[in-house]
Structure 1
Amino acid sequence: MDAAALVDALRSAADPEKYPQRHYHGDGGVLGVRMGTVFSMAKSFTGLPMTEVDRLLDATAYEPRLAAFCVLDFKVRKAKLPDDERRAAYELYLARHDRIDNWDMVDRAAPRVIGGYLHDRPRDPLFELARSTDPLRRRTAMTAPLGFVGSGRPHDLADVFALASLLAEDADPVVCKPVGIALKYAGVQDEPALRAWLDQHASSLARPALRYAVDKLDPAVRRAYLG
């Protein structure tokens, strides 16, 4: 089992006319593989050694790199995965973040690979990512908390609100949607805390982020924030 075998499998399933990957906005070009096929192939390669996952990330085309992040995600879903392997997945994601050139690579792996690893660890790496000039790194900063916000622990929610405060005015579409989504799920755990945050930041929050943030609130409250 190696990276070349997975790339060969993806190439054999490619049909670029049928699957042109219009959602892909990077510069690497596409093979043209159905997303469900990418995910199922990646799952079958969950046992791929980390060195081979790293090699996948050297690919120019979009699908092999997306598959690499899917493999990382499938690896860390294992409840009994040794902590050193969980750490290796976390470190590889961050070390090769430069190979992320589309939003779905972040969304596929960041919650479990990054957020899951930081569940009981300091969140300083997320704040560093939030201050990056790269919008995809900022997306990681706001998507990773989906891996721990559901706990409802006060310090988890506090970190989500602090990260959102850093990125509240970020109008980049790659960033503002995950800001709103993270806030929405923080509000599911503690609606008064979300409303207190919105009372302070709603006027400066990028409009798409605001729409997502208030999505679970009572309709009358939602209308009040949306104006």
Structure 2
Amino acid sequence: MTNCNQYRAYHRELLARLKAVSTAENVTAMARFFSHEVNFIGVKAPMIKQLVQEFQAEQTQLEANGYLALTEHILEHAKYTEEVLLAFGLINKFVKRHYDEKLLLRFEYWLEHYVSNWSHVDDLCIKTIYQYMLSRPHLIESTQGWSKSTNPWCRRASNVVWVKFIKRKIGKSTFRLSKLLIFENCDRLLKDEDPFVQKSVGWLLKVAAVEHEEDVIRYLKNNINSMQRGTLRYAIEKLDPCIRKQLLSFTKG
């Protein structure tokens, strides 16, 4: 069985590969998307994905549980944001067919202890947890509890994890996320002081409007006075221009 020393060696190797393809130009370019300090090494997402694929092609002896252990080792010791993204990427191809329902608790733990910026949240939710939920749709709505977390990244995740499941074909059936839960989550987080949580509220409402336009417009009108303008702008992004103009006019003065 692979021991801690071996995971440490794997981590060093992967970090060395990240540094080998990093550039100062990438650090500068990536920093523009963040309003707070983030510790970059300077590697963009496509290259991180390529490094993961190359590593996995070489380390064929590592199975699903070994990669999960390596992911947790890297998360525990990561110093750069790209290390965290790489750690998530190591299990992406395994989560749909491997692991049990306890992994959902690990995801919550990672959000509360290892995630430190919006890209971590979105990458974990949109790629890793999305694949995980495709084979466990009965767990999708259970993540609503994340909205009660004391950690803002976990609260953001409670919205982001749902954006691809408003309506989703899964196998021969279609999963539809409960409208009640969508609006309950928004109610709970509408006055959240964290700007990234607010953006996630707008994001969830925006994608919900594709399937539930009238309900979302009604919700926006009913809550317009307690909604931050930035959140509203995210939410109305895909609505008809006339409706967008009308909703924005309600906030004037």
TM-score (norm 1): 0.82
Could you tell me how far 1:106 is from its partner in structure 2? 0.7
Q: Secondary structure of the residue that 1:125 maps to in structure 2?
A: helix
Which of residues 1, 13, 16 in structure 1 aligns to 2:24? Answer: 16
- Distance in 1 of aligned mates of 2:116 and 2:19: 20
Which of residues 136, 146, 169 in structure 1 aligns to 2:153? Answer: 136
The answer for the alignment partner of 2:59 in structure 1 is none
Could you tell me how far 1:17 is from its partner in structure 2? 5.1
The answer for the alignment partner of 2:67 in structure 1 is 49
CA separation of 1:122 and 1:16: change in aligned 2, threshold 3 A: closer
Residue-pair matches, total: 221
Rg comparison, structure with higher value: 2
- Whether the 8 Å contact between 2:129 and 2:161 is mirrored in structure 1 is yes
Kindly, what percent of the aligned residue pairs are identical? 23
CA separation of 1:164 and 1:26: change in aligned 2, threshold 3 A: same
Q: Secondary structure of the residue that 1:203 maps to in structure 2?
A: helix
Cα RMSD between the aligned structures?
2.8
The one-letter amino acid of 1:37's match is: M
CA separation of 1:25 and 1:203: change in aligned 2, threshold 3 A: closer
Does residue 199 (structure 1) correspond to residue 217 (structure 2)? The answer is no
- Whether the 8 Å contact between 1:170 and 1:206 is mirrored in structure 2 is no
Q: Secondary structure of the residue that 1:177 maps to in structure 2?
A: helix
- Whether the 8 Å contact between 2:108 and 2:154 is mirrored in structure 1 is no
CA separation of 1:5 and 1:86: change in aligned 2, threshold 3 A: farther
CA separation of 1:43 and 1:184: change in aligned 2, threshold 3 A: farther
Does residue 99 (structure 1) correspond to residue 122 (structure 2)? The answer is no
Alignment of 1:92-171 (within 5 A): 92-97=106-111, 98-114=113-129, 117=133, 119-121=137-139, 123-127=141-145, 129-151=146-168, 155-171=177-193
TM-superposition CA deviations, 1:178-212 (whole Å, max 9, x none): 11111111110111111222122122112111111
The answer for the alignment partner of 1:176 in structure 2 is 198
Gaps of 5+ in 1: none
- Distance in 1 of aligned mates of 2:25 and 2:238: 39
- Distance in 1 of aligned mates of 2:53 and 2:104: 18
